[in-house]
Amino acid sequence: MNILVTGGAGFIGANYVRLLLAGGEDRVVNFDLLTYAGNLENLAGCEDNPRYRFVRGDVRDRAAVRAVLADEKIEAVVHFAAESHVDRSVEGPEVFVLTNVLGTEILLEESRAAGVERFVMVSTDEVYGSLGREGLFVETTPLAPNSPYAASKAAADLMCRSFFKTFNFPVLTTRCSNNYGPYQFPEKLIPLMIANALEDKPLPVYGDGRNVRDWLYVQDHCTAIDLVLRRGRPGGIYNIGGCNEMQNITLVEMLVDRLGKSRDLITFVKDRPGHDQRYAIDASLISSELGWQPSVDFAAGLARTVDWYLANRDWWEKIRSGAYMEYYAKMYGDRGGATGP
Ligand code: NAD
Ligand code: TDX
């Protein structure tokens, strides 16, 4: 298959491109704008693979989307490209609407016109809103997004639903819980805490630190997406999760201990506005229908992740210093219109 991966230079997208190139025979075209979150170093070593091509482009740019679909004879799309950070959506929601909602709508329309046979929408569990102490999100849980990020993902997710219902366009939607692992941008909880701890900086825990997230190792998310792409039911929605709930404070303490740093670095700070209390996924549908199970348990996954950030200090130091954005500015000039860091 000729597969278009949007947002393949980001955290999950890069892990997915690597999974595709590691096996099979598919041709992979990575279509990514290289915003502050996109980093071609996430794909170091892939450039020379004859089955891989990178195209810098914006999902909001209809002509560019149309061209890449036609030029590359795309048969399937896996759509990761998005603004993905909740805190940024609180500061500036507009780009979330433009990229996540309008970008998805343009990609859907052009993919349909181009005769794309499978379209995977990488949505998120945040579309469901927040849980209390009890219960799990199932695929029929009503959507009740709380942050501008989550609202923009819910709008995109529903646009996908409408393309299936109205046009019978073969969209498949995944809603996954929090991912962690290599190449995660150091604005998100786990890499931020690792990097700050290694630099002996304060570790900012929001509110009382008791918010709960359900963590899944990124490669397990990627294998689930791949199964959905190949064997999922058109129109199907699949929850994906690690069955691994944890309070933020417990997780941060585990990281500090593993790094041999002092827990005194932990600093409780003002809470995130609209902070969702708890996410937890019931992934029994994808398990019974497609046979998916997570394969990496949390202790092993976290150890692997910490080791990766220790071994790849250059990668995140460059990002935190802004050096990699300077590099893109030099390489691409103002051709891309990337959003700033
Ligand atoms: P990320 O921020 O690391 O990467 C996003 C990528 O999209 C970047 O490479 C960026 O350059 C690209 N991009 C942004 N705007 C673009 C545009 N207009 N055109 C083309 N490319 C653009 O995000 P991530 O954490 O890898 O998340 C990927 C997807 O998975 C997102 O859709 C997110 O909503 C979803 N998701 C993430 C998680 C998680 O825990 N990180 C969980 C569930 C779902
Ligand atoms: O500095 C911090 N301190 C802190 O306490 C940061 C960055 C986060 N937090 C808390 C907020 C959340 O309860 O940690 C938890 C995780 O925060 P994030 O890493 O920002 O993730 P979250 O808001 O849960 O959203 C993530 O999972 C779902 C991804 O960023 C989304 O893209 C995905 O859809």
pLDDT digits 0-9 by tens, 136-145:
999 999 999 9
Task: Give the integer Cα–Cα distance in Å for 147 and 82.
Answer: 15
Domain ranges of the chain: 2-339
- For residue 93, the CA-to-ligand 1 centroid distance in Å is 15
Contact 238, 232 (CB under 8 A): yes
Predicted confidence (pLDDT) at residue 130 exceeds the cutoff of 80: yes
Q: Interior CA angle at 93 toward 89 and 94, to 5°?
A: 145
Sign of CA dihedral 28, 33, 35, 40: positive
- Burial profile 106-129: b = 16 or more Cβ within 10 angstroms, e = fewer: bbbbbbbebebebbbbbbbbbbbb
Sign of CA dihedral 40, 43, 44, 46: negative
**pLDDT at position 74, please?**
99
Secondary structure element (H or E) that encloses residue 56, with its range: strand 52-56
Three-class SS state of 21: helix
91 has catalytic annotation: no
Classify residue 132 by burial, with Cβ atoms within 10 Å: 0-12, 13-18, 19+. Answer: exposed
Tell me the CATH number for domain 2-339. Answer: 3.40.50.720
Q: What percent of the chain has pLDDT over 90?
A: 93
Higher per-residue pLDDT: 79 or 330: 79
Higher per-residue pLDDT: 76 or 332: 76
**pLDDT at position 341, please?**
36
**pLDDT at position 323, please?**
84
179 to each of 202, 235, 337, how far by Cα in Å? 23, 24, 28
Three-class SS state of 214: strand
- For residue 187, the CA-to-ligand 1 centroid distance in Å is 13
125 has catalytic annotation: yes
Atom number in ligand 1 closest to CA 60: 18
Task: Give the integer Cα–Cα distance in Å for 341 and 339.
Answer: 7
pLDDT category at 333 given cuts 50, 70, 90 is low
Task: Give the integer Cα–Cα distance in Å for 338 and 22.
Answer: 29
pLDDT digits 0-9 by tens, 254-310:
999 999 999 999 999 999 999 999 999 999 999 999 999 999 999 999 999 999 999
Predicted confidence (pLDDT) at residue 334 exceeds the cutoff of 80: no
The one-letter amino acid at 155: A
**pLDDT at position 326, please?**
84
Sign of CA dihedral 177, 181, 187, 192: positive
126 has catalytic annotation: yes
- CA-nearest residue, atom 2 of ligand 2: 189
Task: Give the integer Cα–Cα distance in Å for 125 and 29.
Answer: 27
Predicted confidence (pLDDT) at residue 337 exceeds the cutoff of 50: no
- Burial profile 298-309: b = 16 or more Cβ within 10 angstroms, e = fewer: beebbeebbebb
**Ligand 1: which residues within 6 Å by Cβ?**
6-7, 9-13, 32-35, 37-38, 58-60, 80-82, 84, 99, 103, 122, 124, 153, 176, 178-179, 185
Predicted confidence (pLDDT) at residue 340 exceeds the cutoff of 70: no
Q: Which two tokens stand for residue 70?
A: 């036609």
State the average pLDDT over residues 39-52.
Answer: 97
Ligand found nearest the CA of 103:
1
Predicted confidence (pLDDT) at residue 116 exceeds the cutoff of 70: yes
**pLDDT at position 338, please?**
41
pLDDT digits 0-9 by tens, 227-255:
999 999 999 999 999 999 999 999 999 99
Predicted confidence (pLDDT) at residue 125 exceeds the cutoff of 80: yes
- For residue 197, the CA-to-ligand 1 centroid distance in Å is 25
pLDDT digits 0-9 by tens, 148-195:
999 999 999 999 999 999 999 999 999 999 999 999 999 999 999 999
38 to each of 57, 83, 125, how far by Cα in Å? 12, 10, 22
Q: What is the average pLDDT score of the chain?
A: 96
Predicted confidence (pLDDT) at residue 129 exceeds the cutoff of 90: yes
Alpha-helical runs (H) found in 199-260:
218-231, 248-259
Task: Give the integer Cα–Cα distance in Å for 233 and 237.
Answer: 8
